[in-house]
Amino acid sequence: MADIFPEPILKLPVADMPWEGVSGYLSQSTAHQILFTEYTKDVEMLEHSHGTEWGVVLEGKMEMVVEGVKRTYSKGDRYFIPAGVPHSVKVYAGYADITFFDQEDRYQPK
């Protein structure tokens, strides 16, 4: 996949992502995180929950199940998951997004 993020994003701290084939760059504040993420492999995330999440799809496709409703998101789509709502995700290789978490410790820098 061609580099989707410009140099200033690539200079952010690298996020410690728990999945193979996923790279992320972390913009950190004292109250939230913004994650710039690229996937080179398919990844499945089992049902989980956390603080509020909002994202916009830059490239590729993902499927998300939120409160039992499955939706497919692709380039240009936005999604929102309220805090504490269980959800699962299947992300396909070639996917990239920008995600806002309203918690400061969702991911850690490497």
6-55 pLDDT, tens digit per residue, is 999 999 999 999 999 999 999 999 999 999 999 999 999 999 999 999 99
Q: What is the pLDDT of residues 66-85, one digit of tens each?
A: 989 999 999 999 999 999 99
Residue 71: inside a domain: yes
> Distance from CA of residue 110 to its chain's centroid?
17
Characterize the bridge pairing of strands 61-66 and 53-59. unpaired
> What is the value of pTM for the model shown?
0.92
Residue 17: inside a domain: yes
Host domain of residue 50:
7-101
Residue 30: inside a domain: yes
Residue 110: inside a domain: no
Residue 77: C-alpha distances to residues 15, 39, 57, 110 (Å): 23, 17, 6, 29
Residue 57: inside a domain: yes
